[in-house]
C-alpha cells in the first residue's frame, strides 16, 4: 500500500523515464480515475496532449509532474497523481498488452524513445488530475519559487521535507487529546504516513496507538519523529513495502521492506524486543498492531 516510501520510489522511476518527455496521446479507459480532476475526460486529454513533462515532485503521498507548453514555456499546471491504495504508474513499451485494471494510457516521447505511461488501479481509490500550481500556504520566504497543486495545499509537509517544522509538530501534539496514531495518519498534521508505517514507528518508539497526543513528552515526540524518518529511509532503500503485488515501481517490480516489518500484520508473532505475542486491535475501521508489553497506555 503506497505510503511515502512507495510513492517516492515511483517518483524516482518517473524522473528517469519521463522528464522532458512530450505527451503525444492520452486515452482515458476508465473515467473514474479522474475523480480529482476538475473537468471531464475530454478536458483532461486536451490539457495534456502536446505538452511536455517536467521533473516530478512529491509531498506526502501526492506526486505531480509540472507541464510545459510545446515551446518549452512553463505552465502553471501539473499532472497530479495519487495512488490511493492500489494505484500504479507504469512505464511500458508502446502497444504492450493492457493490464486488467488499466485506467489511463499516455503515449510519451522522451529521451529514451517512445513509451506508454499507464495508470492502473484495481481498487480505484487512486486518481490522476490536471491541476493548477499555486504557492503553498506554508511558503518559505527563502524558497519563493515553490509551487503546489491546489489539491495538495491542505497536505502538511512530510518529515523528509527539509522544511518540515519539528517544533510546530510537537506543539500540535500538545494541543490535542486525539490518540497519537490518529495524528500520525492525519495528512494535515504530518504527511506521508499510512497504517503500516504508523504501526512501525509506534512500535519502535514503544507508544500505544491510543496514547493521547498531549501526554507524549517532548523527548518521546522527538523519538517518534526520528523513528518515522528511520523507517521511511529504510523502506525507501528496500524499494518500499509490497503486499499481494498491489504496490510496484514503474517497472512493475515489488519492494521487499515487508520482510523488515516488526509490527504491522504480525498478530500472534513474538515481539522482536520482548517476545510477547503481538496483538491486532480494531482502530478507526481498520487494524492496529502492537506489543501488549512494550506499548502500553501510560499516565492514566
Residues labelled catalytic: 2-3, 61, 286
> Under rule CB under 7 A, which residues in 198-237 are in contact with DNA?
none
SS3 202: helix
**CA–CA distances in Å: residue 64 to residues 6, 7, 37, 131, 144:** 15, 11, 13, 9, 19
Instruction: Please state, in angstroms and rounded to a whole number, the distance separating the CA atoms of residues 52 and 177.
Output: 47
The residue from 82, 92, 147, 220 that contacts DNA (CB under 7 A) is 82
Q: What is the smallest separation between the CB atom of 195 and DNA, expressed in angstroms?
A: 4
The residue from 57, 151, 205, 241 that contacts DNA (CB under 7 A) is 151
Residue 241 touches DNA, criterion: CB under 7 A: no
Sign (positive or negative) of CA dihedral 136, 138, 140, 141? positive
Q: Which of 196, 160, 166 is nearest to 289 (CA)?
A: 196
Strand blocks (E) in the chain: 22-28, 52-53, 57-59, 62-68, 74-82, 87-92, 102-110, 113-121, 127-134, 148-149, 279-283, 286-290
Q: What is the smallest separation between the CB atom of 281 and DNA, expressed in angstroms?
A: 10
Q: Which of 166, 169, 194, 186 is nearest to 264 (CA)?
A: 194
The site for DNA, by CB under 7 A, has a size of 36
The residue from 18, 57, 88, 187 that contacts DNA (CB under 7 A) is 187
Q: What is the smallest separation between the CB atom of 141 and DNA, expressed in angstroms?
A: 25
The residue from 24, 125, 254, 262 that contacts DNA (CB under 7 A) is 125
Q: What is the smallest separation between the CB atom of 15 and DNA, expressed in angstroms?
A: 20
Q: Which of 62, 191, 71 is nearest to 129 (CA)?
A: 62
The residue from 3, 99, 131, 158 that contacts DNA (CB under 7 A) is 3
**Segment near DNA (CB under 7 A); pick from 14-22, 175-183, 228-236, 251-259:** 175-183
Residue 101 touches DNA, criterion: CB under 7 A: yes
Q: What is the smallest separation between the CB atom of 164 and DNA, expressed in angstroms?
A: 16
Residue 97 touches DNA, criterion: CB under 7 A: no
The DSSP-derived string for 246-283 is TS--TTSPPP-GGGG-SSTT-TTSBPTTT-PBPEEEEE
Q: What is the smallest separation between the CB atom of 251 and DNA, expressed in angstroms?
A: 21
Residue 262 touches DNA, criterion: CB under 7 A: no
Residue 64 touches DNA, criterion: CB under 7 A: no
The residue from 5, 179, 240, 255 that contacts DNA (CB under 7 A) is 179
Residue 154 touches DNA, criterion: CB under 7 A: yes
Contacts 24+ apart (CB under 8 A), 291-294: 291/203, 291/263, 294/203, 294/206
Residue 254 touches DNA, criterion: CB under 7 A: no
Instruction: Cell 491510543: give the residue.
Output: 210
Tell me how far apart the terminal alpha carbons of the chain are, to the nearest angstrom: 34
> Under rule CB under 7 A, which residues in 271-290 are in contact with DNA?
280, 284-287
Q: Which of 82, 204, 70, 84 is nearest to 131 (CA)?
A: 82
SS3 195: helix
**Segment near DNA (CB under 7 A); pick from 50-58, 131-139, 159-167, 193-201:** 193-201
Residue 62 touches DNA, criterion: CB under 7 A: yes
Per CB under 7 A, residues contacting DNA are 1, 3, 32, 60-62, 82, 84-86, 100-101, 122-125, 151, 154-155, 176-179, 182, 185, 187, 194-196, 244, 264, 280, 284-287
Amino acid at each position: 500500500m503506497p505510503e511515502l516510501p512507495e510513492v517516492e520510489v515511483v517518483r524516482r522511476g518517473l524522473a528517469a523515464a519521463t522528464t522532458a518527455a512530450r505527451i503525444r496521446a492520452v486515452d482515458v479507459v476508465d473515467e473514474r480515475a479522474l475523480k480529482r480532476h476538475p473537468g471531464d475526460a475530454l478536458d483532461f486529454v486536451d490539457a495534456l496532449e502536446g505538452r511536455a513533462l517536467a521533473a516530478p515532485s512529491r509531498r506526502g503521498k501526492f506526486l505531480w509532474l509540472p507541464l510545459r507548453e510545446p515551446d518549452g514555456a512553463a505552465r502553471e499546471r501539473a499532472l497530479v497523481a495519487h495512488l490511493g491504495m492500489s494505484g500504479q504508474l507504469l512505464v511500458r513499451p508502446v502497444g504492450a498488452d493492457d493490464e486488467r485494471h488499466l485506467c489511463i494510457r499516455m503515449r510519451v516521447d522522451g529521451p529514451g524513445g517512445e513509451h506508454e505511461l499507464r495508470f492502473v488501479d484495481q481498487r480505484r481509490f487512486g486518481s490522476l488530475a490536471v491541476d493548477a500550481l499555486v504557492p503553498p500556504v506554508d511558503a518559505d520566504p527563502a524558497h519563493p519559487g515553490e509551487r503546489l497543486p491546489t489539491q495538495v495545499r491542505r497536505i502538511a509537509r512530510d518529515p523528509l521535507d527539509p522544511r518540515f517544522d519539528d517544533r510546530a509538530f510537537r506543539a500540535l501534539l500538545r494541543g490535542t487529546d486525539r490518540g497519537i496514531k490518529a495524528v500520525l495518519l492525519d495528512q494535515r498534521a504530518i504527511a506521508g504516513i499510512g497504517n503500516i508505517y504508523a504501526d512501525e514507528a509506534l512500535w519502535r518508539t514503544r507508544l500505544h496507538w491510543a496514547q493521547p497526543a498531549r501526554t507524549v513528552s517532548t523527548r518521546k515526540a522527538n523519538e517518534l519523529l526520528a523513528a518515522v524518518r528511520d523507517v521511511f529511509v529504510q523502506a525507501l532503500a528496500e524499494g518500499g513495502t509490497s503486499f499481494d503485488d498491489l504496490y510496484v515501481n514503474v517497472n512493475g517490480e515489488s519492494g521487499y521492506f515487508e520482510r523488515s516489518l516488526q509490527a504491522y500484520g504480525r498478530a500472534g508473532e513474538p515481539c522482536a524486543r520482548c517476545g510477547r505475542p503481538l496483538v491486532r486491535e480494531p482502530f478507526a475501521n481498520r487494524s492496529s498492531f502492537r506489543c501488549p508489553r512494550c506499548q502500553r497506555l501510560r499516565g492514566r
